[in-house]
Amino acid sequence: MLKGIDPVINAELIHALMLMGHGDQLVLCDVNHPAQTIAQHTTYGRLIDVSGCGLERTAEAILKLFPLDTFVEAPVKRMQVVGDPEKQIPIFSAMQTVVDRAEARPIKMDALERFAFYEAAKNSFAIVRTSDPGPYGCFIFSKGVI
């Protein structure tokens, strides 16, 4: 345990966050996401598990350390609901609240179709899987600079 670092942030997660540079992307997902399969395609190359923790709590802990990119219009992406791309579910607004609070400003969040999200996730730096049961708890954060 280290002082000042949220206990949600395990050693592997902090290692990955420290390796990331400006513009790199981090996927935060629920347990339904094919994270293990997709993680093999990422820069980091393996899945980072945050067991026993949900999406909102994990995002809050990460975003204390992780600045969102200010050079892109939408530094956060989420997965659309299959068959109803305009549908809003509670995790979307909950995560919007988390990112807005973390950055102390409104953050634009774009939605990606399911398979487009999977492709974007493959091109990310790393994937962090939470214990959140979902569904559609799949987000991509673009890293900025401090």
Q: Model confidence over 19-37: pLDDT tens digits?
A: 999 999 999 999 999 999 9
Task: Quote the pLDDT of residue 82.
Answer: 97
* 1 Cβ contact list (under 8 Å, min separation 6): 7
The separation between CA 53 and the C-alpha centre of its own chain, rounded to angstroms, equals 13
* Rg of the chain taking only CA atoms, in angstroms: 14
Show the low-confidence residues of the chain (pLDDT under 70). 1
Task: Quote the pLDDT of residue 2.
Answer: 80
**What pTM did the predictor assign?**
0.97
Q: Which positions are annotated as active-site residues?
A: 22, 69, 118
Residue 2 three-state SS: coil
d(CA 138, CA 129): 9
d(CA 50, CA 58): 8
Name the percent of the chain lying above pLDDT 70: 99
Task: Quote the pLDDT of residue 146.
Answer: 87
Question: Among candidates 109, 141, 111, 137, which has minimal Cα distance to 125?
Answer: 141
Write down the H helix ranges in 27-109.
35-39, 55-63, 90-103
